[in-house]
């Protein structure tokens, strides 16, 4: 989901450079080290976190939810900023990219609503249960329709570089959903986040 842009002030210094629960390490010798391998490993982490949210209760559930929200925000920001432009270059990639962006935007709105709910309320459980399924379906659609297209149509070097860019984009991504804006471009230029995002773009353009 296009989970981007939260008030810059909400990010503490300690959040800088920290990517919650993400896989680290590099290794571009094989497919697992490219951007697709990196994102698929994160999908697995997201699946586990979503299960943890429903399994836990009270404060523990809140913590798992916060982790899931932050990880999704970072992950989807990396996909939107770095991966979608590559997808669009592939044959028929425009339609695939548009479909994934639409799913991410929808999920972003649901996530913003969830964030305001009491995690032990019935409303949270029913909304989160549906949200979990839509995230699972979205990840499956990426793995089935988007990632193979990327690997078939993108130079392996470019896929390895894209991994580095995604990792950097994720480190700089805001961690709360911002459902008011629906396009990728608007996500990154709207609101009081321009300075931070300019900085992000500067760093990314150096890669
Ligand atoms: Fe996604
Ligand atoms: Fe994804």
DSSP string, 75-139: HHHHIIIIIHHHHHHSTTHHHHHHHHHHHHHHHHHHHHHHHTS-TTSHHHHHHHHHHHHHHHHHH
Contact (CB, 8 A) for 167 and 38: yes
Ligand at minimal distance from the CA of 96 is: 1
Q: How far is the CA of 126 from the centre of ligand 1 (A)?
A: 22
In a domain, 191, yes or no: yes
In a domain, 140, yes or no: yes
User: What Cα–Cα distance (Å) separates residue 107 from each residue in 53, 119, 134?
Assistant: 16, 17, 7
Instruction: Supply the pLDDT for residue 157.
Output: 94
Q: How far is the CA of 121 from the centre of ligand 1 (A)?
A: 27
Which helix (DSSP H) or strand (DSSP E) does residue 58 occupy?
helix 58-78
Instruction: Supply the pLDDT for residue 173.
Output: 84
Q: How far is the CA of 179 from the centre of ligand 2 (A)?
A: 18
In this predicted model, what pLDDT tens digit does every residue of 46-95 receive, in sequence order? 999 999 999 999 999 999 999 999 999 999 999 999 999 999 999 999 99
Q: How far is the CA of 142 from the centre of ligand 1 (A)?
A: 7
For ion ligand 2, residues whose CB falls within 5 Å? 142
What's the rounded mean pLDDT across residues 34-54?
97
In this predicted model, what pLDDT tens digit does every residue of 108-120 receive, in sequence order? 889 989 999 999 9
Contact (CB, 8 A) for 87 and 146: yes
What's the rounded mean pLDDT across residues 161-175?
90
In a domain, 42, yes or no: yes
Ligand at minimal distance from the CA of 1 is: 1
Which candidate, 144, 26, 151, 133, places its Cα nearest to that of 83?
151
200 pLDDT band, cuts 50/70/90, is: low
Of all residues in the chain, the percent with pLDDT exceeding 90 is: 64
Buried b vs exposed e over 163-194: b needs ≥16 C-beta within 10 Å?
A: bbbbbbbbbbbbbbbbbebeebeebbebbebe
CATH number, position 179: 1.20.120
Q: How far is the CA of 136 from the centre of ligand 2 (A)?
A: 9
Average pLDDT for the chain: 80
Number of domains in the chain: 1
Instruction: Supply the pLDDT for residue 3.
Output: 42
192 pLDDT band, cuts 50/70/90, is: very low
Instruction: Supply the pLDDT for residue 28.
Output: 39
Instruction: Supply the pLDDT for residue 89.
Output: 96
In a domain, 114, yes or no: yes
In this predicted model, what pLDDT tens digit does every residue of 139-159 receive, in sequence order? 999 999 999 999 999 999 999
Q: How far is the CA of 151 from the centre of ligand 2 (A)?
A: 15
Ligand at minimal distance from the CA of 102 is: 1
Domain that holds residue 76: 31-206
Ligand at minimal distance from the CA of 101 is: 1
Instruction: Supply the pLDDT for residue 205.
Output: 58
In a domain, 81, yes or no: yes
Instruction: Supply the pLDDT for residue 178.
Output: 62
In a domain, 174, yes or no: yes
In a domain, 15, yes or no: no
In a domain, 75, yes or no: yes
Q: How far is the CA of 36 from the centre of ligand 2 (A)?
A: 9
Ligand at minimal distance from the CA of 84 is: 1
Q: How far is the CA of 59 from the centre of ligand 2 (A)?
A: 27
Phi first, then psi, for residue 26 (nearest 5°) are -125, 180
């Amino acid at each position: 989901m296009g989970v981007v842009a939260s008030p810059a002030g909400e990010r503490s210094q300690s959040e800088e450079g920290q990517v919650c629960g993400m896989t680290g390490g590099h290794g571009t010798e094989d497919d697992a080290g490219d951007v697709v391998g990196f994102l698929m490993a994160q999908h697995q982490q997201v699946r586990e976190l979503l299960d943890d949210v429903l399994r836990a209760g009270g404060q523990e559930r809140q913590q798992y939810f916060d982790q899931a929200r932050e990880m999704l925000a970072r992950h989807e920001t990396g996909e939107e900023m770095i991966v979608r432009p590559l997808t669009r270059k592939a044959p028929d990639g425009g339609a695939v990219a548009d479909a994934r962006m639409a799913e991410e935007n929808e999920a972003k709105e649901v996530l913003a609503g969830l964030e305001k709910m009491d995690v032990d309320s019935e409303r949270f459980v029913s909304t989160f249960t549906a949200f979990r399924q839509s995230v699972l379906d979205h990840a499956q659609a990426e793995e089935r329709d988007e990632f193979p297209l990327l690997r078939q149509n993108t130079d392996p070097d470019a896929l390895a570089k894209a991994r580095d860019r995604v990792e950097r984009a994720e480190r700089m991504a805001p961690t709360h959903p911002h459902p008011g804006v629906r396009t990728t471009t608007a996500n990154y230029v709207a609101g009081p986040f321009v300075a931070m995002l300019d900085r992000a773009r500067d760093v990314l353009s150096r890669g």
